[in-house]
Each structure stands twice: as C-alpha cells, then as structure tokens.
Amino acid sequence: MAGMGRAQRGFQYTCLLLTALMLGLGVMSLGRLQLNNDILALFPGLDEHSAEAEANRLRAGSIEREILLLVYSSDQSRLHDTLPAVVENLKRCDCFAEVAARLADLGGGQSFDLPGAHPSLLLTPQWRRRLASLTPGQLTDQALQRLLMRPGGFSSAELRTDPLGSLADFKQQWQPEAGRISANDAGYAQLTLPEGDYILLRLTLSGSPFRLSLQRSAEQALAQALAPVRALPEADVLYTGAFFYTLAGTEQARAEISTVGLGSALGIIALFVLVFRSPGLLLLAFVPIGVGVLTGLAVVQWWFGQVHIIALVFGSALVGVAIDYTLHFYAKRLDAGQHWNLADGYRRLIAPLSLGLLTSVAGYLSFTATGFPGFTQVAVMSCAGLIAAFVTVMGLYPVLLARPGKRNLSRPLLILLNRGVRGQQAIVRLSRRPLLWLLLAGAALAIGPLWQSNDDIRQMQNPPARLQSMDEIFRSALGARRAMQYILVEASDEAGLLSHLQQIEKDLSAAQSAGQLAGFDLLSRWLPSERQQRENRALWQARVIDSGVLADLLNRLGVRDAAASSIVADMRTSQVIEPQEVFGQLRGAAMPLVFQHRGKFYSVVSLNGPLDAQALSALADRWPYAEWVDPVARTNQLLQHYRHNASALLVLAYGLIGLLLCGRYGPGGALRVILPPAMASVVTLFGLLALGQAISVFHIMALMLVLGIGIDYTLFVRESADLSRSTLLAIGLSTVTTVLSFGLLALSGTQAIAHFGVAVFWGMILAFVLAPLAQRQ
Amino acid sequence: MARWCLLLCLSCFAAGVWAAEIQWRRADSDADRRQLADLAARLTDSLPVRGKMQQQKHMAILTAPLQSAGHFAIAANGDMTWAVETPFAVLYQIREGRIVRVLDGRETEISVSNEPSVYGFFQIVGKLFDLQLEGLETFFTVEVPQTPRAGLWQLRLVPKNRRLAKAIAAIVVTGKEGVLHTVTVQEPNEDYTRIQFSYPALGED
C-alpha cells in the first residue's frame, strides 16, 4: 500500500474494520431468518389500527391455517383401517394444532350450544312467517305430522324442549356446509363425489403457513402420514388450503432463486475466466457479494422482523450489482498492466465509486417512498448490501491487489474493446444529428396511443392449475363458496350490533332471492337481537300458546294432563338472552367473526358467491353502520395508486439526482449524466407498449433500478477523461452480469417478477449503449 | 364424534322395553363370534326382503303408545324403501347411502345435520337387517343371552359411548331364522320404541 496517502489509508482501514464487523453480524443472524412469501405483503396494507385491518387479520388467522383433505380408496375397509394411524401420525407433528376426521370433531355449529336457547326466542324468518300466516289448526297438523312420520319417533325430552321443531330449524342455520357431509359406518366424515365416497379430514396449522420451518415440517408430516393411504388400491388424495398455495409459492421462489443465482454465477464465472484469467480473482470477486448479501439479510431481518421472499430474490440480484465495484477495480488494474499503481488507481476509483454508491442508494431509497412494504425491504436490503460490498472492495482489495497482475488484457479483448470504444464514439456522433431525435419523437407519438396499464393483482400471481382444480372440487362438494368480499358492521354496543345485523339480514335475504348472492352468514343467525327475541316471544305466545296450538298438539298426542301443563308452562316462560352474556362464547372457525376494537363492536357478514359485487356494494352504501370490503379491488386500487406515485417519484428522482450532480458537473453536465438512463427507460417503456404489454407498477419499479445502475455507468464515463478502455470494460462486464441476472427474472412464472425482469433487461442494455452520451464534449 | 350423530339419531329413535328376566353376556368368545358370523350370513342370504312394519312408541308422559305402520323392502345391496302408511303417509328411500323423503310428492334429502334422528335410524336399521357387525361394534357392545331361547335368536346392543348412552340404554334385536322380527330401543328412562316386522311373502302375517 505504498504511496497511499494518510487519508486514503485511514479510509481503507475503516472499510476493512467495517467489513469484518458486517461479516460477523451477517453470519450470526443467518440462523434467525424468517421468510414470508405472501405476495399481498408486498403491498401497502391498511392502516394497521383500523377495524378492517383487524377483521382481515382475524379472518386470515382462521382461514389461512385451515387445511382440508379428501382421501379415497376403492377398498373402503382398508381405508378405514388406515385412517386412525394417519390421524395419529399427523397429531404427532407440532405443526398441527388440530386434526379431525370424525364428523363431530370437524367443529363448526354442531359443537356450539347457545346458553338459554328457547324455542320462543329463536325463530328463523321462515318460522316467523309460518306462525304469522298459518291457522292454529294447520300449525297443529304440521307439528303432529312432523313428530309422527319419523321412523323411530321422538323422545319425551324433545317434546318438552322443542315441541314444534322450530329450535332445531334455527340451529340448522349454524351448519351451512354440514348438509353435504355425512358420517360413514366407522364414524368418519364422508363426502360423496362423483368418483366415490371420500373421507374428509380437517387440519389446523399451529402457526402461520408462511413460516418456512412450519411449512417444511407440515409438508413432511403430510407426506409421511398419507403414504399408507396413497398405497391403497385406486387411492386418491385431494387437498386445499392457503398452506398449499404458500408451499407452491415457496417452491417457485426457491426454483427461481436457484435459476437467477445459477445464471448470474455462471455468467460471472465465464466472464472472469475469459477476461481476467485468474481463479484467485474469481474467488475474490464473490467476497463483496457474499458480505453484501449477508449484511443485507441481517439488516432486513433486524429492521422488519422477517425477510420477504421477493426481497430476497430482488435484493440478492441487486446486491449482485455490487460486482460492479469489483469489476471497476479489476478493470483498472488489468488495463494498467505492469504500470498498476495502487495509490493512483485507488484515487481514481474512489470518486466515481462513491458517487455511484450514493446515487444507487438514493435510487433504491426512492423505492421506500412508494410505500410498498415489500419494495421497502428490497430497497433496505440493496442499500445495506451495496454499502457492505463497497466497503469490502475499498477495504480488502487494496490489501490483496496492491501489486500489478500477472496478466495484461488479452489480444482479442483488446481488439474488442477498441472496437467498442469506436462504437461508442459513433453513438456520440449519431446523437448529434437532429434527425435521430426527430425519429425518436415520431416513434413516441406513434406508440403513445397504445398506452395501456394493468393493475390487477390476480393476473400477477400464478397459482398452480392442479391446486385450483382441487379447490374447485372442494367448493362444489361442500356447497357454499365463500367470497373474498365481506361486510363489516360497526356498533357502539352488542345490542346495537345485533340490531344492525338484523336489518342487514332482512336486506340480504331479499338480495339473495333476487339472485344477487348465493348465500350469507351473520351473527344474528346465531343470536337474534334482544328486540327480535322479544318480538319472537310475543309471536310465539300469541300463535303457539294463547291460540291453543301447543295444548291441542299435546292433547292429540295423548300427553298426560300433568305433563302437558308442565310443557305449556315451560314453553310460556323464557328469558331474553342478553348478548353481553354470550358474546365471549361466540368463538370458532365456523362462526361469524365478532370482535371489539377501540371500544366499539364489530362483526363480519360472510358472503357466498357467485355474487353481484356492484349491486351488493350499492346495497351496503345504504347502511350507515356497515362497510363493503373487497380486498382484491382494494389491492388493485392501491396498485394503480402506487403505479401513479412511483411514476411521479421516478421523475422526481431524476430531478434530485440531477440537482445533486449539478454541483460537480454543472447543469449541462448533470443533464448529460442523467440523460442516458432516462432515455433507456423511455425507449424501454415504449418498446414494451409497442409489443402490446400493459404497464404495471413493476415495470416502473424496474425503471427505478435502471436509473440506479444506469447512473453508475454514466458517472464512470463522465469521470473518465475520454472514452477509456477500462471504463468500457467495467461497465460492459457489469451490463452483461446485470442483464444475465435480470434477464432470467423475465422468465419467472410470476407475472409481477417477469414484468420487473423484462424491463430491467432492456433498460440496462439501452443504458449501456447510451452511456457514452454522458461524456464531456 | 361421529358417535354424536348416532347419539342424536338414536335418541329420537329411542325407547324400549326390556325383559328383565334375560341375562346377557358379551359375545366375545370364539364360539359367539362364529355364531354371529353364521347369523350375519343367514341374514345376508335372506336379502332381498320385503314385509310390513309396525312401530309403537311407549312414553311415560303419554296415556297410550303412539302407533304407526307401513311396509318396507331391503335390497341385497342395502338400498331400502320404508313407507309409513298410518297415521301419515310418507316414503323414505335409501339409495347408495343417500336418504330421500317423499312427502306429498315433494322430495327432501335427509342428512345427518338436517334430521339426525332419521339419519341415525336408517344407519342402525340398515345394519341390523344383514347384521353388519363391524359397523355396529363401532358404537355398541354386542351381547347375547346367557340362555338362548329355542327357535329364536336375540342380541343386545349396549352403547359404548357415554353421550350415546344418555339417549339409549340398549337396543334389543330379536329374530328367527334369517330374518329380523323385533327391534326395541330402550331409553335411559322408562320410554321405549318397539318396531315389529312381519313377512307375508314368507307366510308370516
């Protein structure tokens, strides 16, 4: 390190110390990484403290942890013999909180018992209509027929507690899906599909399906436990649940990380072998990347408490940009050959590399202004990773690469670079012709009308077709198809909440009759409001007790006088169930969601599709105490909103970087530095439109990256006195590695990632080609 | 918990009398198992079978038992027709495990959730006609008389499950040769239900 000034040496030692520190922290935090692959987590959520956010959280908590399995074999007897062991093996895994195969173990309304339930209080709308419209004679005849036509008859307990069967009908509302499920000979829950009788198993995960450790153990437990079933004759296993979608998402992300990582690594190796011809340099090139990735992950885990899988994919690739620092160092050393002077090289590198880091970090940090949690993670990971890679290069390389290299530029490479420099000069000359600009403007005007955008989140995900088809089987077999949309009802107390729900029930029943939705479930079907209970009781008193229907029924059955008097007395007296007393007990996966939030009471009205969202949303607008919630539409709106915001921010970022560079290069120079990435972005955008691609927020995110990296290129070009070979070599190699990484992202099965990849791919190639425009005139 | 369904079903199908003089023991010896297997084979061989049925519901709170009557038919594959003629006409059809009630020309599918008692009734009766021991022993302990009666066979089914036992004390089944004659469901109280079957086609009335 002879010849390095004191300040340079101080900077280098500081960098070396920081490198060691970050490496240590990165390695230590590896074991604590927690990955999240929920694509919706990429997007800004609601105000976390809103009731809607709480409803979403509670809904997701119960829905996302549920797993449904349907198992079948043509040998039903052996299937039944196998099931106890299957259930036991699944229960042994900590990953499952509950495993149920017997019908009543499946939970839901069957296991719920409302304290104080009395037929006079709990009447379905149908029973209210019946009591109001039928004559006493008709009511008695119907009740008698119901009791006497049943094989096996009825019990005295039933006669005493529910003489008309109205209470049983009310409780029937608590089991919307149970009608399709029956108990087979062995007591297992059975569902009849066209292919045969399947046994239904319901599993509840012990934690979030997004936890990778839980995913692994649950997947393993399921594979092991179901292996004996799969070995049975004509066995079939169907499954559904958020777990399988997250598992597929994780697998896809893993595969894509491997592809991107492998492609990137192979590209870098090939380049290093061809250009630098040194295994030592090849290994050394990965050190800043390794330190960068480790530091990036550690910072994201520490900051956010978890690492989003998209942040890992994008962040890793972005940190791969850190290879640029290495490339600039190596290129400068290789080009100098035996004349390599560390102090001189270090001095020449420190300004453009620092400026490059500064502008890249500024570019990435602009991601955070979009408000996307996922992209904020990408930005944080990239910034932390780049800084770590920068300090590694600036701290470690002077120690190891102080002496000149053993090899000079190879002859073919030298020829190639000289041609490249001439090509760049040609581009600069071409750019001075007004005709070119006129042509570009004409093309832009022609393509402009083709503008189209896409903000639909559903098109950006890629759930496996097999999972979707199994999902459809479950939906059609179990009947109701729970819609994503729901209605959130608010009240200041429990009684008010039930009263609102009563009104909603009435309106939704009418909407259901009009074919606007397939069905719905709400709390008032489990517990009517106090007012409704009183009305029910008055109706019951008038039409069942005072009219003599009950007395006549008991008489015609031949019930002894004493028993009849006792039954009539019991049916006459009932105590209104106060919601405050039972609200705490209204918990369970199958029950409508009810919760307290910031002193107010809320309940969710679930809807079954197919439904007319527009009509129902308009209906919900009529209730001042209720809100129509459509999570998908809300996400799409957010995507559109953030596409607009990100576009504005991109323009703002160019302006800010331009201002930042004005100090060093003056207004004209700064404009020249930002022009190439800006032009690359515009041409990419118009190219994609010309190819018929609709622009999404992910394209705009990619253009932010084009700005961040493209500015690096132009800074080096600007800092070179003229178009130097070492600069061309460094930015050329950087473009190839970046394009390799992001080009592979364009092949992703997830449209959002593919959009990002394809825009970065073309944007970076153009940014490289146009970079010479930044040179001094 | 599937027992829960049968509990509900059978609680409605409950009742029963039992002859106190008969002493019962568990049918767990090899000889018992062989005899039960023979009986199951004879019952199965007698299918398809058709006949008349008469049901009496004895309840302590009633001055007289409730009665209903009709006819039934059971196919070899277990499909069943159960037609109540008095006091109200109603038809139940069981096809491949699916139960449908036809009342005034209107069909209603019966499931464990919408009518557990009816569902449970047919689950049990269906298994009694060909003595499906495996299915029955999931929920009941099978007992036989200490001293068998000449020319008759008798079985007693005692619920294994406590929840089922709250509704049913025992089910006593009596038959002759390869056919079933009486099913009596005794509730834990004094109430019971007795269903008698006769087979005019076999010369019985």
pLDDT at residue A104, as a whole number: 59
- Of all residues in chain B, the one with the smallest CA distance to A106 is B1
pLDDT tens-digit profile of A114-123? 878 899 999 9
Which DSSP symbol is given to A693?
P
Question: What is the length of chain A?
Answer: 777
Question: Is residue A102 helix, strand or coil?
Answer: strand
Enumerate the residues of chain A whose CB falls inside 8 A of the CB of residue B90.
149
pLDDT at residue A721, as a whole number: 63
Torsion-angle region of A692 (φ positive above 0: left; ψ -120 to 50: alpha; else: beta): left
Write the CB contacts of B61 (distance below 8 Å, at least 6 apart in sequence). A156, A159, A559, A560, A563
Write the CB contacts of B12 (distance below 8 Å, at least 6 apart in sequence). A150, A152, A153, A154, A155, A158, B116, B117, B118, B120, B121
**Do the bridges between strand A307-308 and strand A35-36 make them parallel or antiparallel, or are there none, so unpaired?**
parallel
Contact between A584 and A49 under an 8 Å Cβ cutoff? The reply is: no
pLDDT at residue A185, as a whole number: 63
pLDDT tens-digit profile of B54-79? 999 999 999 999 999 999 999 988 89
Q: What CA–CA distance (Å, rounded) separates A664 from A289?
A: 30
pLDDT tens-digit profile of A499-547? 999 899 999 999 999 989 888 888 888 889 898 999 999 999 999 999 9
Is the pLDDT at A590 greater than 80, yes or no?
no
* Residue whose token pair is 């290093």: A272
Is the pLDDT at A616 greater than 80, yes or no?
yes
Enumerate the residues of chain A whose CB falls inside 8 A of the CB of residue B62.
557-560
Segment B167-187 shows an average pLDDT of 91
Lowest mean pLDDT among A51-65, A228-242, B105-119, B144-158: A51-65
Write the CB contacts of A429 (distance below 8 Å, at least 6 apart in sequence). none
pLDDT at residue A367, as a whole number: 67
Q: Do B167 and A155 touch (CB under 8 A)?
A: yes
Is the pLDDT at B12 greater than 50, yes or no?
no
pLDDT at residue A140, as a whole number: 95
pLDDT at residue B156, as a whole number: 94
Q: Do B4 and A560 touch (CB under 8 A)?
A: no
Q: Please indicate whether residue B89 or residue A584 has the higher confidence score (pLDDT).
A: B89
Give percent above pLDDT 70 in chain A: 89
Lowest mean pLDDT among A63-72, A371-380, A639-648, B38-47: A371-380
Contact between A335 and A409 under an 8 Å Cβ cutoff? The reply is: yes
Q: Do B57 and A103 touch (CB under 8 A)?
A: no
Write the CB contacts of A79 (distance below 8 Å, at least 6 apart in sequence). A71, A72, A73, A199, A229, A232
φ and ψ at residue B110, rounded to 5 degrees? -95, 130
Is the pLDDT at A36 greater than 80, yes or no?
no
CB-based burial label for A243 (10 Å; 0-12, 13-18, 19+): buried
Give percent above pLDDT 70 in chain B: 87
Segment A157-173 shows an average pLDDT of 89
* Residue whose token pair is 């004559």: A135
Q: What CA–CA distance (Å, rounded) separates B94 from A390?
A: 78
pLDDT band at A248 (very low <50, low <70, confident <90, very high): confident
Segment A710-733 shows an average pLDDT of 81
Segment A346-367 shows an average pLDDT of 81
pLDDT band at B16 (very low <50, low <70, confident <90, very high): very low
Q: Hey, is the C-beta of A103 within 8 angstroms of any chain B C-beta?
A: yes
Enumerate the residues of chain A whose CB falls inside 8 A of the CB of residue B127.
185
Enumerate the residues of chain B whose CB falls inside 8 A of the CB of residue A149.
68, 84, 88, 90, 103
DSSP string, A217-279: HHHHHHHHHHHHHHTSTT-EEEEESHHHHHHHHHHHHHHHHHHHHHHHHHHHHHHHHHHT--H
φ and ψ at residue B84, rounded to 5 degrees? -85, 130
Token pair recorded at residue A273: 């072998």
pLDDT at residue A740, as a whole number: 78
Segment A355-367 shows an average pLDDT of 77
Torsion-angle region of A92 (φ positive above 0: left; ψ -120 to 50: alpha; else: beta): alpha
Enumerate the residues of chain B whose CB falls inside 8 A of the CB of residue A75.
none
- Count of CB atoms within 10 A of residue A171's CB? 20
φ and ψ at residue B72, rounded to 5 degrees? -145, 160
Residue A105: which of A172, A216, A202, A19 has the closest Cα? A202
End-to-end CA distance of chain B: 40
pLDDT at residue A480, as a whole number: 58
pLDDT at residue B6, as a whole number: 40
Q: Do B1 and A154 touch (CB under 8 A)?
A: no
pLDDT band at A422 (very low <50, low <70, confident <90, very high): confident
Segment A252-273 shows an average pLDDT of 76
* Residue whose token pair is 């039944």: A80
Q: What CA–CA distance (Å, rounded) separates A763 from A691?
A: 15
Interface test with B, best of A77, A140, A182, A195 (most B CBs within 10 A): A182
Q: What CA–CA distance (Å, rounded) separates A167 from A528?
A: 13
Residue A679: which of A775, A774, A777, A776 has the closest Cα? A774
Give percent above pLDDT 90 in chain A: 26
Token pair recorded at residue A645: 């915001």
How far is residue A152 from each of residues A252, A291, A364, A654, B88, measured CA to CA in Å?
57, 77, 75, 83, 14
- Of all residues in chain A, the one with the smallest CA distance to B166 is A157
pLDDT tens-digit profile of A267-312? 778 878 888 888 888 889 889 988 988 898 899 888 888 887 767 7
Enumerate the residues of chain B whose CB falls inside 8 A of the CB of residue A199.
none
Give the closest-approach CA distance of B162 to chain A in angstroms: 15
Q: Hey, is the C-beta of A192 within 8 angstroms of any chain B C-beta?
A: yes
Question: Of the candidates B63, B88, B139, which has its C-beta nearest A145's C-beta?
Answer: B88
Is the pLDDT at B170 greater than 90, yes or no?
yes
Q: What is the interface pTM, i.e. ipTM, of the complex?
A: 0.83
- Of all residues in chain B, the one with the smallest CA distance to A160 is B61
User: If residue A381 lies in a helix (H) or strand (E), which one and from where to where?
Assistant: helix A373-400
pLDDT tens-digit profile of A471-488? 888 877 776 567 778 999
pLDDT band at B3 (very low <50, low <70, confident <90, very high): very low
Segment A754-770 shows an average pLDDT of 90
Q: Please indicate whether residue B8 or residue A89 has the higher confidence score (pLDDT).
A: A89
Q: What CA–CA distance (Å, rounded) separates B205 from A21?
A: 98
Contact between B185 and A152 under an 8 Å Cβ cutoff? The reply is: yes
Give the closest-approach CA distance of B193 to chain A in angstroms: 7
Torsion-angle region of A153 (φ positive above 0: left; ψ -120 to 50: alpha; else: beta): left
Average pLDDT of chain A, as a whole number: 84
Cα-Cα-Cα-Cα dihedral sign, residues A165, A166, A168, A169: positive
Using a CB cutoff of 8 Å and minimum separation of 24, what contacts does B26-29 make? B26/B141, B26/B142, B26/B143, B27/B142, B27/B143, B27/B144, B27/B155
Is the peptide bond prior to A352 cis by the omega test (within 30 degrees of 0)?
A: no
Q: Please indicate whether residue A328 or residue B97 has the higher confidence score (pLDDT).
A: A328
Q: Hey, is the C-beta of A161 within 8 angstroms of any chain B C-beta?
A: no
pLDDT tens-digit profile of A729-741? 888 888 887 787 7
Lowest mean pLDDT among A176-185, A644-653, A711-720, B92-101: A176-185
Enumerate the residues of chain A whose CB falls inside 8 A of the CB of residue B122.
151
Is the pLDDT at A255 greater than 90, yes or no?
no
Enumerate the residues of chain A whose CB falls inside 8 A of the CB of residue B168.
none
Interface test with B, best of A150, A170, A180 (most B CBs within 10 A): A150
Enumerate the residues of chain B whose CB falls inside 8 A of the CB of residue A188.
2
- Of all residues in chain B, the one with the smallest CA distance to A149 is B88
Q: Do A151 and B84 touch (CB under 8 A)?
A: yes
User: If residue A51 lies in a helix (H) or strand (E), which one and from where to where?
Assistant: helix A51-63
Question: Of the candidates A77, A104, A560, which has its C-beta nearest B1's C-beta?
Answer: A104
Q: Hey, is the C-beta of A188 within 8 angstroms of any chain B C-beta?
A: yes
pLDDT at residue A368, as a whole number: 74
Segment A396-419 shows an average pLDDT of 85
pLDDT tens-digit profile of A179-234? 567 766 667 888 877 777 888 898 888 887 777 778 889 999 999 999 999 999 98
